[in-house]
Homo-oligomer: A and B are copies of this chain.
């Protein structure tokens, strides 16, 4: 039997999914939730340089896609925790690998880049 979805097909829903994963900050946020639930400010502090607006947007889309769950405690001051859903945790596996690949191969890529000075 052939596969049901093919990212190479222009109209395939899997392409939308893959584009969402490819969004600038998805890999970072999912990886930041690797160690368990985290609060908004913890995420913001951990993913250096991300703005609250962008973090919110990213979390909202991940939530809409069922990858992240949000739990607001009825306390004062407010407390909100984000966690990976089982689906999100399944995505974490490949995304962690991508993250590790990036961290491991920085020297290789920088070497390749310096070999081709931009004119």
> Which residues of A are interface residues toward B (Cβ below 8 A)?
3-10, 13-14, 17-24, 26-28, 31-32, 46-49, 63-67, 87, 90-91, 93-95, 97-106, 108-113, 115-116
Contacts and interface: CB of A to CB of B under 8 A. Distances in A.
B24 A112 contact: no
Q: State the number of copies, please.
A: 2
B112 A65 contact: yes
Contact of A17 (B47, B90, B93, B109): B109
Contacts of A8: 28, 31-32, 46-48
Nearest to A86: B108
A29 B114 CA distance: 23
A87 to B, nearest CB: 5
